[in-house]
Amino acid sequence: MTLRTLGRASLKVTPLGMGCWPISGITSIDVNEADSLATIREAFDAGINFFDTAFCYGFDGESERMIARVLRQDRDKIVLATKGGIHWIEGKQARCGRPETLQSECDESLRRLQTDRIDLYYLHAPDPEVPIEESAGAIGELIRQGKVLSAGLSNASTELLARFHAVCPLTAYQPHFNMLQREIEDSQLPWCVEHGVAAVVYWPLMKGLLAGHLPREHVFNAKDGRRKYPMFSGDEWQRNQDFLDELRAMSIELGRPVSQIVLNWTIQRAGITVALCGAKRPHQIRENAEAMNWSLTLGEIARINAAIAARGPIVSKAAVS
């Protein structure tokens, strides 16, 4: 499989990365440690070399700690990305982009990850109380100290991307993107392409919806974090299921699971460098990783694009996680 270069950095990554939020068990239900550890191992064994986590994935860094437990021996074979600038206060996420906070969160992430360097360190989200230049300067300082190899930013406007990049050149930007949520194609993706910044996108499977396994009659568990999103209820849900029916028909014709069709479309999309797919069971990441090993034809992509156009976009604000 061909590796992709992250921005102008020397980091080479697989086009699919493993998103390590679901294994923290905060919004996903029925998560257990044995499955989570096995899912990380399965991702690596299936060829994925890029792991995405954050200081706040788990109330006490469980996601970072589990990655270290499974992949410490293989550290030099993987690219590790984590994020700082969001932490938990009494069960609620709080942003803090102050330099001293980023410095101490980075130090803690290094300890949890049991490594001497983080390959890609993102500001998880801009802090409205702190000028972005200060947060960018702090990540630049972490690079100078050798704790971090390259800088990233997530959940920002195009203006903030440019201001961050002017202080500390970005290697990657991390927004949400999937077949039905493509707002970044208007200005952020062209900005990334123009400035040589990798687009590493989250929610390619729209939190599992686009894996196609949730049937139209699915009733969400009261603890399932997806219940709060409009796309999982009412008219939006019905329209999403109509769209999925088209992908399900293609799935039968191609002999490929819907998830692989969706992920392959995503990593073939112009300007997209990596799609981060979350999983909490080994069989899910195994199914997803296989999407790197084949390609949709141009005709199949055109058919999918027509179905996307018929569905129309979902306009929704990303929930940072």
Ligand X SMILES: NC(=O)c1ccc[n+]([C@@H]2O[C@H](COP(=O)([O-])OP(=O)(O)OC[C@H]3O[C@@H](n4cnc5c(N)ncnc54)[C@H](OP(=O)(O)O)[C@@H]3O)[C@@H](O)[C@H]2O)c1
> Which residue type does 134 have?
E
> Which residue type does 3 have?
L
Instruction: Give least dist CB 248 to ligand X, A.
Output: 13
Tokens of 207: 């939190």
| DSSP code, position 204 | T
Instruction: Give least dist CB 244 to ligand X, A.
Output: 12
Residues 145-184: x/- map of binding to ligand X (CB under 6 A)?
---------xx------------------x----------
Q: Name 121's bridge partners.
A: 82, 151
> Which residue type does 308 have?
I
Return the number of other C-beta atoms located less than 10 Å from residue 90's C-beta: 5
7 binds ligand X (CB under 6 A): no
Q: Which of 138, 168, 274, 276 binds ligand X (CB under 6 A)?
A: 276
Residue at token pair 């069709």 = 261
Output the DSSP codes for 129-184.
TS-HHHHHHHHHHHHHTTSEEEEEEES--HHHHHHHHHHS-EEEEE-B-BTTB-GG
Instruction: Give least dist CB 156 to ligand X, A.
Output: 10
Q: How far is CA 212 from the centre of its chain?
A: 19
Is the distance from CB of 263 to CB of 16 less than 8 angstroms? yes
- Closer to ligand X at the Cβ: 145 or 202? 202
135 binds ligand X (CB under 6 A): no
Q: Which of 15, 22, 58, 97 binds ligand X (CB under 6 A)?
A: 22
Residue at token pair 């938990």 = 88
Question: SS3 for 316?
Answer: coil
Instruction: Give least dist CB 223 to ligand X, A.
Output: 11
Q: Name 89's bridge partners.
A: 92
Burial grade of 255 (CB within 10 A; 0-12, 13-18, 19 or more): exposed
Instruction: Give least dist CB 50 to ligand X, A.
Output: 10
279 binds ligand X (CB under 6 A): yes
Q: Which of 58, 61, 126, 208 binds ligand X (CB under 6 A)?
A: 208
282 binds ligand X (CB under 6 A): no
Q: Name 92's bridge partners.
A: 89
- Closer to ligand X at the Cβ: 101 or 288? 288
Residues in contact with ligand X, total (CB under 6 A)?
A: 29
Binding to ligand X (CB under 6 A) within 23-82 occurs at: 28, 52
Judged by CB under 6 A, the stretch of 67-75, 133-141, 196-204, 297-305 that binds ligand X is 196-204
Burial grade of 252 (CB within 10 A; 0-12, 13-18, 19 or more): exposed
16 binds ligand X (CB under 6 A): no
Instruction: Give least dist CB 112 to ligand X, A.
Output: 15
Q: Which of 13, 20, 123, 136 binds ligand X (CB under 6 A)?
A: 20
202 binds ligand X (CB under 6 A): yes
- Closer to ligand X at the Cβ: 127 or 287? 287
List % helix, strand, coil for the chain (3-state, nearest 5): 45, 15, 35
- Closer to ligand X at the Cβ: 174 or 240? 174
Active site residue 173: no
Is the distance from CB of 216 to CB of 241 less than 8 angstroms? yes
Return the number of other C-beta atoms located less than 10 Å from residue 240's C-beta: 20
273 binds ligand X (CB under 6 A): no
Q: Which of 66, 80, 106, 206 binds ligand X (CB under 6 A)?
A: 206
Residue nearest to ligand X (CB): 278
Calpha distance 173→140 (Å, rounded): 16
Q: Which residues bind ligand X (CB under 6 A)?
A: 19-22, 28, 52, 154-155, 174, 202-208, 211, 213, 259, 276-280, 284, 287-288, 320-321
Instruction: List active site positions.
Output: 57
